[in-house]
A and B are shown apart, each in its own frame.
Chain A
Amino acid sequence: MANPTDHGAEALKTTPLTSRHQAAGARMVPFAGYSMPLQYEGIVAEHKATRENAGLFDVSHMGQILLTESRPGAAAAWLEKLTPSDIAGLAEGQARYTVLTNEAGGVVDDLIITRFGDTFRLVVNGARRAAVAAHFETYADPDVRIAPLDRALIALQGPAAEAVLAPHVNSPIGELSFMHAIETTAFGAGAMVSRCGYTGEDGFEISLPNETAGEAWDALVGDDRVSPVGLGARDTLRLEAGLCLYGQDLDETISPIEASLLWIIPKARRTEGGFLGEARILKEIADKPARKRVGLAVEGRVPVRSGAPIALDGAEIGTVTSGGVGPSVGAPIAMGFVPPEHAATGTRLAAIVRGKSVDVSVAKLPFLASRTKRKGN
């Protein structure tokens, strides 16, 4: 998910659910070119509702794309040039988090890729739709067709998500494990239901036709266990889960190795390469990156926010890229980039807030243990 961008007087786009957010009294803000809900009841209440029961998010601003191929294997091979991950090896309905890299080894966007047969479904950041389209155009393959999907996307996240959603889906979603999806019927329409999310909780994302989204939203939000959640709590939830926000923790100059995303690159690809930016990325794997994304536990109660310098013995050594208060952690938390020699858990550093030094220490990510339903859970 990317930063809010100022679109000035430019007309904001709406999602199929915008009128419902307004009717519910949500505070609306411009985000990725859309008018989106920042909060309904309040960020802390929505955050806790998601961790304790279930939160419902409109993420229709995100870009949904369908890839098809005219030559067997072309789409997977093309995606393996654009990402450093294993795409050919994805099983039916399996989803993978990865990044699109550029020639310089930076990140064009982070995304989820899901395989269905010989097609792939992509979900990219709303604010990166145009950049991703331009990137795909640059590396176009005549055997791979790229079709944007004009569909709604809603996320239901939290421990009650499965029980709430199951009656509305014509497939046993309890059998899905984390990062797996099915194409099925949900709320009476053709839908893709994926067990994934951006909160660290168990939960689902449901891609629906625009005309079905309103009914689906009403049915879910009408359930006592469900609270609608805006972008504010989406940010505090993902920060506690240690997940990157494009535009803050990822950008075109930050490599996936610097972003501590080595885990998205399987062993074979670390030796064989074959993806954009491999020269820098493979070198950073073999040696060390110049900087590394780490979690920061903040002492005291002064939140440390994006842009705050990170210092060691009075010398600036890095920058905070995401930060705020973790409502479930109960303290300020942050993520930032520091040289690898200062990235060990427990390393004591300082963040500079309004000219004053705030004690921080490198902390393991995520800040809260993930509760996703992995195989064997």
Chain B
Amino acid sequence: MKRFTKDHEWVELDGDILTVGITEHAQEALGDITFVELPEAGRTLAAGDSFAVVESVKAASDVYAPVAGEVTDVNAALDDKPELVNDAAETDGWFIKLKIADAGAIDGLMDRAAYDAYLKTIE
């Protein structure tokens, strides 16, 4: 089950590996994405660390780690096709996989219904 942050990232846990990306709402707001700067595998992130930069035609935007963990994989497909984030933000356009020590860390994040309700409050 996906969970969501107020910074418009989504996460999905499989065992102790957390896949992280940006939401459909975020890609829509950013517009045409031309480049995604991703971290190196092996980097350790604290919750709140900026781990990626999304360059759109409009602006550069930071992406923050929702929880602490170690980067085990990055989505190399974004290197050639950054527009994957526009086309499939919440599936093929994922950013990184994080090995997390504490699976409970994501409990505080919103579920889909709560995120949709949150989006309504900021529009």
**What residues of chain A have their CB less than 8 Å away from a CB belonging to chain B?**
38-39, 42-44, 232, 236, 301-303, 305, 324-325, 327, 332, 354
* Residue in B31, B34, B55 whose beta carbon sits within 8 Å of that of A232 in the complex: B31
Given contacts A42-B32, A232-B31, whether A303 and B58 have CB atoms under 8 Å apart is no
Q: Which of B32, B35, B53 contacts A43 (CB 8 A)?
A: B32
CA distance A199 to B53 in the complex (A): 29
CB–CB A354/B53 < 8 A: yes
The reply to whether B57 and A232 form a contact with Cβ atoms under 8 Å apart is yes
Closest A residue by C-beta to B34: A325
Main secondary structure of the interface of A (DSSP, over half): mixed
Cα distance A303–B59 in the bound complex, in angstroms? 9
Complex CA distance for A327 and B37, rounded to whole angstroms: 19
Given A42-B32, A44-B32, A354-B53, A232-B58 contact (CB < 8 Å): yes
Q: Which residues of B contact A (CB under 8 A)?
A: 31-32, 34-35, 37, 53, 55, 57-60, 82
Q: Is the CB of B57 within 8 A of A325?
A: yes
**A364 vs B79: C-alpha distance when bound (angstroms):** 29
Q: Which residues of A contact B55 (CB under 8 A)?
A: 301-303, 325
Complex Cα–Cα for A301 and B55 (A): 9
Within the assembled complex, what's the spacing in Å between the Cα atoms of A90 and B82? Answer: 49
- Hey, which chain A residues are within 8 Å of B31, CB to CB? 39, 42-44, 232
* CB–CB B37/A236 < 8 A: no
Residues of A within 8 A of B60 (CB): 303, 305
Contacts of A305 in B (CB 8 A): 59-60
Q: Is A44 touching B57 in the complex (CB atoms < 8 A)?
A: yes
8 closest residue pairs by CB, A with B: A44-B32, A43-B57, A301-B35, A325-B34, A303-B55, A325-B57, A43-B31, A43-B32
Q: A303, B35: Cβ atoms under 8 Å?
A: yes
Contacts of B53 in A (CB 8 A): 354
Taking A325-B57, A332-B34 as known contacts, 16 extra A-B pairs with beta carbons closer than 8 A to each other, sorted by chain A number, are A43-B31, A44-B32, A44-B57, A232-B31, A232-B57, A232-B58, A301-B35, A302-B35, A302-B37, A303-B55, A305-B60, A324-B57, A325-B34, A325-B55, A327-B32, A327-B57
8 residue pairs from A and B, CB less than 8 Å apart: A44-B57, A232-B31, A232-B57, A302-B35, A302-B37, A303-B55, A325-B34, A354-B53
A327: B residues at CB distance < 8 A: 32, 57
- For A42, the chain B residues whose CB sits under 8 A away are 31-32
Question: Nearest-CB distance from A363 to chain B (Å)?
Answer: 19
B35-A236 in contact (CB<8A): no
In whole angstroms, what is the CA distance A236 to B34 when docked? 13
Q: How far is the CA of A354 from the CA of B55 in the complex (A)?
A: 12
A351 CA to B107 CA in the complex, in Å? 42
Residue of chain A at shortest CB distance from B36 = A301
B85 to chain A, nearest CB (A): 14
Residues of A contacting B59 in the complex (Cβ-Cβ under 8 angstroms): 305
Q: B58: which A residues are within 8 A, CB to CB?
A: 38, 43, 232
Which chain A positions have C-beta within 8 A of B82? 301
